[in-house]
Amino acid sequence: MKKFIQFIIIFTFYSCSEDTKLLESRIEEQARKNGVEISASEIKETAAYLKSWGKEDFYQEAIDEFLEQDLLDFPDDINVLFTGSSSIRFWNSLEEDMEPLKVLNRGFGGAHISHVNFHFNDVVRRYDPEAIVFFCGTNDITALKTPMETVKDFKMFRDKVRNELPNVHIFVIGIKPSPAREYIEKEEMEYNKLISNMAEADDLLTFIDIWDSMLTQDGKRMPELFIEDGLHINAAGYKIWTKLVREKLEPLFNL
């Protein structure tokens, strides 16, 4: 199977609500943009696979593990809840990086924003945090949702926070310039811009722009900030994230 198709299948999951023909059309168009030949059968196979893995409860097992952990030792008095996809989940130094704040990591799988919304009560609401740091959306775009569709899902997340956790500040880490996803740079930057514009008009929403800080002086992506897959960041990448996130949290918590 073509490299393009393999990449999408490994790292993305598509919303089951998406019309199959529209999804197939988007797969074909993305392949064309990247100069990849794809047969009709491969398009259908990929669309079916993505729809299956895009079910809202796909990560239920991971959520159940969180709930089991809570039964043993419920995390009270959380200052900042970190949630979203795998770049949050793999932030193993998070507690140390955010000291003296009491933080909780509730990132899971290769989540889409719709997955976080579906599990909102179990990964956000129940912990009653003072603030939320959110990173998600790149999987959505890689799975061929448009930036506007992805932002629409984020607005649903924001509204859930507003309704269930009034006055809780949301800090959104922008999509990062992953070497493995350079082919969707335009869409990712559009998403970042849309979220940044939202934040400018919302006192309880802050956009954390990490894009330029993860580029060389001449604007090139930096593989040395990522693990071998070119998608997930390593310790050097998290060092950059730590600095930028702490700078934004500082006014709220007097760090």
Q: pLDDT, tens digit, for every residue of 35-84?
A: 767 777 776 777 776 676 667 888 999 999 999 999 999 999 999 999 99
Note whether 165 and 128 are within 8 A (CB): yes
| Residue 31: per-residue pLDDT | 66
**pLDDT tens-digit map of 213-250:** 999 999 999 999 999 999 999 999 999 999 999 999 99
| Residue 93: per-residue pLDDT | 98
Is 228 exposed, middle or buried (CB count within 10 Å of its CB: 0-12, 13-18, 19+)?
A: exposed
What are the extents of the domains in the chain?
A: 3-53, 60-253
CA distance 171 to 208: 7
Interval 163-192 mean pLDDT: 96
Express as a percent the part of the chain with pLDDT over 90: 74
pLDDT at residue 4 tops 90: no
DSSP 125: G
CATH code 3.40.640.10 for 60-253 = no
